[in-house]
Amino acid sequence: MDKKVFMEKFTGRLPKDIKSATPQQLHNALGETVMELYSDRWSVAREEHLSKRRAAYLSMEFLVGRAVFNNLLCLGIYDEVNDAFKELGLDLADLEVIEDAALGNGGLGRLAACFLDSAATLGLPLDGYGIRYKYGLFKQSIVDGFQREDIDDWTKYGDPWSRRCDEDTLLIEYSGQTVKAVPYDMPIFGCRTENVGTLRLWQAEPVKEFDFDTFNKQDYLEASKEKIYAEDISRVLYPNDDTNEGKKLRLKQQYFFSCASLTDILRKHKARFGTLDNLADYISVQLNDTHPVISIPELIRQLVDNEGWTFEKALSTAKKVFNYTNHTVMQEALEKWWTGLVEEVLPRIYEIIIQINEELIAEMYANGVQKDKTNRIKIIKGELIHMADMACYASSHINGVAEIHTQILRDSVLADWYSLYPERFRNETNGITQRRWLALCNKELSSLITEKIGDGWLTDLSQLRELSKYADDSSVLDSFIKVKQTKKQQLADYIKAREGVETDPNSVFDIQIKRLHEYKRQLLNAFSILWIYYGIKDGSITNFKPTTFIFGAKSAPGYKRAKAIIKYINEIGRIVSTDPDTRDLIKVVFVQNYNVSYAEKLVAAADVSEQISTAGTEASGTGNMKLMLNGAVTLGTYDGANIEIVQEAGEENNYIFGARVEDLARIVPEYDSRRVFAEDKMIKRVVSSLIDGTVSDGGSGDFRELYMSLLDGASWHAPDHYYLLGDIRSYVETKLRCISDYDSDRAAFARKQWLNMCNAGKFSSDRTIADYAENIWNIK
Ligand SMILES: *Cc1c(COP(=O)(O)O)cnc(C)c1O
């Protein structure tokens, strides 16, 4: 970068009195300047992507977070820009107030963002397609212990990292409604390469802004009707992590970006090659979960209706183009649409789905597949369209996101499909980008690493393994402990500023950050804290080392139990901090508005990473990888990628507890949570806190409902479906051992932490993406 040119362009965009510029003005000026300086590089890369076989990543969510610092880092101009700011009497850190682009709920959306980062860095022609929601994931505050939601108007002050591309606008047709899809492109800068990827996000707009005649007749609302209905389509991100929100608007959203993205892909292909006959040679489309699966009938529709292809030829092309990633084993997240709804909104798509379904049945019959198996895998069952079955039928590759998850897909969730097409199944263990999740969020640890082994790890994380040789070098471990201490102090300062709560950086930082869900078992964590509290009070737990238990989690606004768990955690926090016997030993902090930027601060400061989902429920997890990479030990179950984490870093360097998948298969049929409750005094005491007046849910009855879910179950699940009472003893014992290990030998504990970091190389999304590129997309 030419610093002089940068200065000129940057200051030219600032007010005369530079010091008076607000952070938002600085951000816009910086973003616009960088976009201008690198626009040629971006154009060249776009052209290059179009000229060869490429892949498109279709995802309803991209949880990109804050772009500015990451872009500077990946472009290699962070220090230069930082200096430029100083020369102007400005502080780059002031841009920390810039809002995240929170266009996703959690892991699935963040994965999509990490994948684009890795593909750009690896020089691969991969581009993302999604929706430009006006409002991202809601902003959370905690009032009186309860979650409150507010809208997230993330573009209020502008969006300098996007470029509107009117020339690529197209029309999307629903029955009785036509809307415009306008693309906004974000550059994804690769690190140490000229490659730049593109994230194209579609925004819904009316074909006609406004009906002037109606306006003149003074019916203002009627005059804007078309605009409102059109904009509704990209107005909000569904704040739902893993349940199938059966809404017409959501179906419209899915079709909106699927149709727009495919139209865009076909248009560009045709413009270049003059034909779509070779489409499958040049494009591979990854379907991120079932949300974009409506792309399958849509591609067929375009090829048949617009290009005059036969249905058979179109289907056979679709089977080559698409690949499907499954992200969950939760039944409620495997999307099913009511046939009547699809027929009403998208009648032509509905016809094509019927045709695909008929073809499937005919093909199975011809291949001698048993009728009952065909009935299980067909796309339309009764009045429901099963999107996962459509995806399996019309994809060349199907993948899970961690070894155990892929195995569960093969063994149960997709067993019928596996028996038919075993060669389609692959495992692709998730990953995270080390640019954001180490280089950016932990400059101190990055410096220590680079001092020892150079900075090659930025683009090859496996190099961290070379650091294992320092595991017994006390001076290196001392430096590591100092770094961790610095990050804890920084987090403590931040928590003080943001939450108004004091935390002690000399205490153990035990952190659980992830969406609030019953299967993730934040309630188990809260129970364990109360257990420890009771133990300290009655003298059965002695010499407890001061520990800060930090939670960060958003609950879907309509998910009552999850919201009750948030309140419960805050109630436990109140109890331990108001009791003089424990207030210096236990601290509970529930941070508000957990998002990517908060995560960057939390992962760097963690001593202990809580990954405690019921075995078999967390497909992979990626939070676990972020904390490991920053030198935390995992306190977790044998679930998702935890298993691979322990394989890489050693069981002896982590704290594993609880029933495993194979144990649960044996236990669950006989499991009786009421008996456990009745026979174990401590379990009884802790669980009873929900109803015995220990804590208050403000009279809502929500704690009683949680209590009942553990002991009585509900129409839709057995009592204690997630096995909290079964795992709690093993959990508390392991947790106490972990905290006591930290206390009794800080150096030995630091050695474990260090070795976790050294062995995190496998969990770079660079490794994941290189594998997708080679084995699924066949791109270079
Ligand atoms: C990484 C990340 C997640 C996913 O966390 P898990 O522990 O894997 O569920 C969710 N939200 C944010 C903001 C993240 O950065």
Read off the pLDDT of residues 52-87 as tens digits, 9 standing for 90 and up: 999 999 999 999 999 999 999 999 999 999 999 999
Residue 322 pLDDT > 80 = yes
Task: Indicate which residue's Cα is closest to atom 15 of ligand 1.
Answer: 596
What tens digit of pLDDT does each residue of 342-359 get?
999 999 999 999 999 999
Q: What is the pLDDT of residue 298?
A: 98
Task: Tell which atom from ligand 1 comes closest to the C-alpha of 520.
Answer: 9
**Whole-number average pLDDT of the chain:** 97
- CB of 622 closer than 6 A to ligand 1? yes
DSSP class of residue 64 equals E
Task: Indicate which residue's Cα is closest to atom 1 of ligand 1.
Answer: 623
- CB of 735 closer than 6 A to ligand 1? no
215 falls in which pLDDT band (50, 70, 90)?
A: confident
The residues assigned a catalytic role are 327, 514-515, 520, 622, 626
- CB of 107 closer than 6 A to ligand 1? yes
Q: What is the pLDDT of residue 350?
A: 98
Task: Tell which atom from ligand 1 comes closest to the C-alpha of 621.
Answer: 8
DSSP class of residue 99 equals P
Task: Indicate which residue's Cα is closest to atom 7 of ligand 1.
Answer: 623
Task: Indicate which residue's Cα is closest to atom 10 of ligand 1.
Answer: 106
- CB of 327 closer than 6 A to ligand 1? no
Q: How far is the CA of 513 from the centre of ligand 1 (A)?
A: 7
- CB of 617 closer than 6 A to ligand 1? no
Going across the sheet that includes 608-611, the strands are 586-591, 547-552, 508-513, 608-611, 633-636, 655-656
Strands (E) in 298-379, as ranges, are 322-325, 336-338
For the whole model, what pTM was predicted? 0.98
Q: Residues 527, 728: contact at Cβ < 8 Å?
A: yes
Q: How far is the CA of 640 from the centre of ligand 1 (A)?
A: 14
- CB of 297 closer than 6 A to ligand 1? no
Q: How far is the CA of 675 from the centre of ligand 1 (A)?
A: 35
Residue 518 pLDDT > 90 = yes
Q: Which two tokens stand for residue 686?
A: 């802790």
Q: How far is the CA of 117 from the centre of ligand 1 (A)?
A: 16
H helices of 712-723, in order, are none
Q: What is the pLDDT of residue 220?
A: 79
CA–CA distance, 193 with 76 (Å, rounded to integer) = 10
Q: How far is the CA of 312 from the centre of ligand 1 (A)?
A: 41
Q: What is the pLDDT of residue 243?
A: 73
668 falls in which pLDDT band (50, 70, 90)?
A: very high
Task: Tell which atom from ligand 1 comes closest to the C-alpha of 595.
Answer: 13
Burial class (CB in 10 A: 0-12, 13-18, 19+), 457: buried
Task: Indicate which residue's Cα is closest to atom 11 of ligand 1.
Answer: 106
Residue 381 pLDDT > 90 = yes
Q: How far is the CA of 618 from the centre of ligand 1 (A)?
A: 12
246 falls in which pLDDT band (50, 70, 90)?
A: confident
- CB of 110 closer than 6 A to ligand 1? yes
Mean pLDDT computed over 140-156: 97
Q: What is the pLDDT of residue 378?
A: 98
Task: Please report the domains of the chain, with CATH numbers, ordered by start residue.
Answer: 38-61+104-430+769-777 (3.40.50.2000), 434-657+724-763 (3.40.50.2000)
CA–CA distance, 555 with 167 (Å, rounded to integer) = 39
What tens digit of pLDDT does each residue of 497-511 get?
999 999 999 999 999
Residue 211 pLDDT > 80 = no
Q: How far is the CA of 182 from the centre of ligand 1 (A)?
A: 29
Q: What is the three-state SS of 550-616?
A: EEECCCCCCCHHHHHHHHHHHHHHHHHHHCCCCCCCEEEEEECCCCHHHHHHHHHHCCEEEECCCCC
Mean pLDDT computed over 459-463: 98
- CB of 595 closer than 6 A to ligand 1? yes
Q: What is the pLDDT of residue 22?
A: 97
Mean pLDDT computed over 444-467: 98
Mean pLDDT computed over 277-303: 98
Mean pLDDT computed over 648-655: 98
Mean pLDDT computed over 105-127: 98
661 falls in which pLDDT band (50, 70, 90)?
A: very high
Residue 551 pLDDT > 80 = yes
Q: What is the pLDDT of residue 283?
A: 98
213 falls in which pLDDT band (50, 70, 90)?
A: confident
